[in-house]
Structure 1
Amino acid sequence: MTQFKIAFFDIDGTLADNELPHEMGILQRIPASAKEALRQLKQNGIEPVIASGRNHLMLREFAAELGVESLVASNGTQVLYKGAELALHPIDQQTLKATMAEFDRQKIRYIIETPERFLATSMEVATEDAAAKYIEYVKDIQELPQDVIQLIVRMEDRNYLQVENNLLIAEKVAPVVMDVHLAQVSKATGVHEILEKLNIQPEEALAFGDEENDLAMFDAVGYPVAMGNACQALKAKAKFVTKRVGDDGIWHACEMLGLVK
């Protein structure tokens, strides 16, 4: 079998059990067996990397406790290697303003995300969102930050989000959340940027995921693993389908591949 050198992990529904109450926090929703798997992978020379739709500010809170130093954050729009920024892919101002204007016209509520800040023009979104402690309520944004990497859209009663500009893509990251970012950027581009930095071949990389925004990442590695709770499209693309998160799915996959004991 290929000697793996690096493993990329999605968070929600992959490392963290989404079937547990979200009030518990991410770290508390990660099974002890998954934490032990990450520890053993690192011990065995396989670098664990978190690849998530979430911002690095959220990821850093618990990544250090998992022994993870590198992040593909915000769907690949920001990539950090051992704490230092490796890549950043902001949306250009013209595209951003036009998209926000269209969302405002359709009364679609959204959060503006930069690497260091979250802004919302809706008080309800600013206070009720899962990331509420990071979000600043701004009644009227006079000047947009230059480094906006995503618009986070709460779907509410919508099943679909149409983005008019083909420079952007709307990606489903949770049952009721879509992230809007540059179309040419994804978890896959972030994976490639880290592999290139470390001079690691794609066939030497694993990836674990559960949702549609992991599809591109699965194409970027040699051995994609879908969780038992993953969407069908991801299971179809996986080389191995493991158990559900809460049934020690991460540990089971690593054990089956002979990566942990």
Structure 2
Amino acid sequence: MTQFKIAFFDIDGTLADNELPRDLGIIERIPSSAKEALRQLKQNGIEPVIASGRNYLMLQEFATELGVESLVASNGTQVLYKGKELACYPIPPSLLKETMLAFDQQQIHYIIETPDRFLATSEKVATEDAAAKYIEYVTDIKTLPADVIQLIVRLEDRRSIQIKNELLVAEKVAPVVMDVHLAHVSKATGVHEILKKLNIKPEEALAFGDEENDLAMFDAVGYPIAMGNACDALKEKAKFVTSKVDEDGIWQACQKLGLVK
């Protein structure tokens, strides 16, 4: 069997149980077996990396507690190795304005995301979103930040949103959330950045995921693992489908591969 050197983990629905109340916080929603798996992986020379649609601000709060030093944040639009930024991909201002105008016309509410700020022009979104503590409510944005990496869209009564400009993509990251970012950027490009930095081959890498925004990441590693609660498309692409988050899926997969005891 291949000697694995690195393992990439999605958060929501993979490491963290989405069925538990969100007010528990992420670290409280991660099963103790998953935390132990990450600890043993690192102890056994396999570097754990978080690859998430979530922003660096959110991830850094608990990554250290999990012993994770490197992050593929915001769907690969920001990549950090041991706290130092490897890559960042902001949306060009003209493209951003064009997209925001189209959303405003369709009454689509969104959050503007930079590596270290969240802005919302909808008071409802700013105060009721799960990430409300990070969001600044602004009545009008006269000058857009130069480093906007994503627009986060709450679907509400929509099943999806359509992006007309092919330079952007809308990725489903949760049942009611889509992230809009540059189309050539993904968790996969973030994985490649980390692998290149560490001189690790794709076949020496594992990845765990559950949602559509993990599809590209699965193509970037040698051994993709889908959670039991994953979407069907991801299960079809996986080399192994483990149990659900709350059924110790991370631990069981690592145990099956002989990576933990």
What is the TM-score when the length of structure 2 is the normalising length? Answer: 1.00
Partner of 1:112: 112
Note the C-alpha offset of 1:239. 0.3
* Deviation string, structure 1 residues 204-245 (Cα, Å, up to 9, x no partner): 000000000000000000000000000000000000000000
Identity of aligned residues (%): 81
Distance 2:82 2:3 in 1: 22
Note the C-alpha offset of 1:23. 1.0
Letter in 1 for 2:65: E
Q: SS at the partner of 1:65? A: coil
Distance 2:14 2:203 in 1: 21
Distance 1:114 1:20 in 2: 28
Distance 1:25 1:223 in 2: 29
Partner of 1:19: 19
Partner of 2:248: 248
Q: SS at the partner of 2:160? A: coil
Distance 2:133 2:110 in 1: 16
Q: SS at the partner of 1:216? A: helix
Gapped runs of 5+ residues in structure 2? none
Note the C-alpha offset of 1:173. 0.2
Distance 2:19 2:113 in 1: 26
List, as ranges, runs of 4+ consecutive aligned residues in structure 1 with deviation greater than 2 Å. Answer: none
* Deviation string, structure 1 residues 147-204 (Cα, Å, up to 9, x no partner): 0000000000000201111100000000000000000000000000000011000000
Matches within 5 A, 1:67-78: 67-78=67-78
* Aligned Cα root-mean-square deviation (Å): 0.3
Letter in 1 for 2:12: D
Q: SS at the partner of 1:28? A: helix
Matches within 5 A, 1:157-176: 157-176=157-176
How many residues were matched structurally?
261
Partner of 1:57: 57
Letter in 2 for 1:229: N
The reply on whether 1:32 has 2:25 as its aligned counterpart is no
Note the C-alpha offset of 1:51. 0.2
Distance 2:50 2:114 in 1: 19
Partner of 1:182: 182
Q: SS at the partner of 1:42? A: helix
Partner of 1:216: 216
Gapped runs of 5+ residues in structure 1? none
Partner of 2:7: 7
Distance 1:21 1:107 in 2: 29
Letter in 2 for 1:158: R
Letter in 1 for 2:199: N
Distance 2:31 2:104 in 1: 40
The reply on whether 1:66 has 2:90 as its aligned counterpart is no
Q: SS at the partner of 1:66? A: coil
Partner of 1:101: 101
Partner of 2:139: 139
Distance 2:22 2:148 in 1: 27
Q: SS at the partner of 2:190? A: helix
Distance 1:232 1:109 in 2: 28
Q: SS at the partner of 2:64? A: helix
Distance 1:197 1:224 in 2: 20
What is the TM-score when the length of structure 1 is the normalising length? Answer: 1.00
Letter in 1 for 2:229: N
Distance 1:129 1:137 in 2: 12
Letter in 1 for 2:64: A
Q: SS at the partner of 1:166? A: coil
Partner of 1:126: 126
Letter in 1 for 2:37: A
